[in-house]
Structure 1
Amino acid sequence: MELQVKTLAGGAAGSITVSDEIFGLEPRTDLIHRVVRWQLAKRQAGTHKTLGRSEVSGTTKKFVRQKGSGGARHGNKKAPQFRGGGRAFGPVVRDHGHDLPKKVRALGLRHALSAKAKADGIVIVEDAKAAEAKTKALKAQLEKLGLTSALVIDGAEVDNNFVLASRNIPHLDVLPVQGINVYDILRAHTLVLTKAAVSALEERFK
């Protein structure tokens, strides 16, 4: 598959041939869905917690007499039905993550990239470098490329000026190629890859 390469200024910079094994697959939504579920479950904090009856303060002395009150024979104020008592079957601190085979995760990433390519949602740029960390200048360049919501993937090292300039632009994320993931690819309207990122991805899936 051949894709056009652009400069950050919006000009043409030739073309690049990319692997059909990464960018030319017929997208499978079931695989992509599995990987997204795994990602979101893994990042869920799981710090929700309520106090059970063994953890709250309260008397365990019998607080009403056995007979004659017309009520039940309660002997513990920490029971869930009382105000200030413990919560019955409340949430506890736990890990929400679940296992997903490494091969499925890799395949899901390739299908997400193929889905973007099929929807014409991939832009290849020569590099992602900024002469100075100026948000206004970078925003003007991105407008020339027609980018409003984008995920920019660079090579192993991301240009520091580019990162600083992009931080205050809404709907723009910048990641090194090691951080590329299915959820962020789908969340952004356009996926912007540098030539270094394409080379690294092809090397990774070789």
Structure 2
Amino acid sequence: MTQADTARYTNTTSPMPVRAAEQGKRPLSDQAVTALAAAYHVTRAELLAAQRRSFGQPEEPQQEPPSAEGTRVARKLESLRTEVYAGAAPSDAHLASEGNRKSGSAALTEAMVRALRAGEIADPRDEALDALALAFDVPPVYFRQDDPEVDALILSTRAVRNKFTVMVARGAGQEMPRESWDQLRDFIGETMEEILADGENGRPA
């Protein structure tokens, strides 16, 4: 395609828009970029990259698509934030500090936790995920599998524990008889024991 042929795609009477862009004098309009990309059988990104080269501008780094593993971890972290902490999860710095303290390692940094939340780490290390699980007080299995029912059980249990802790901290137990409070605590503990026992009994030999 010659420069003269481009006029019908840029809705002009001359090839000046394309000539000016190729000479690095004036960029194409957004409509011209879309039309010419279709005419050249390239993507808009490829055409804009060529235009940047004409203007002597550096190439923009290509964004790697998020990996399946990175996306899965980010999704699980978002579930913890919304279903356990009602949208107000601890800060990245706090999670990194708590995870390192509880694991006795230096597996996490604030930047790493932020990247995990964004799904930007394609293959997270097991020690980092284990430390993150400790920071959230969930079992490491939460990050190691992708069964919706297992996730739901862990999140529900963690949410109950979080609620129970808040109730104790604010002295809610003092508003009801000691016997009733003990029954509530025992009920929660016995229910979890029964659930885990049923899981053991149903496990294949």
More strand by share: 1
Query: Which TM-score applies when normalising by structure 2?
Result: 0.23
Q: If each structure's helix is expressed as a fraction of its own residues, which one has the higher value?
A: 2
Q: Select the structure with the greater relative contact order (CA < 8 A; seq sep ≥ 6).
A: 1
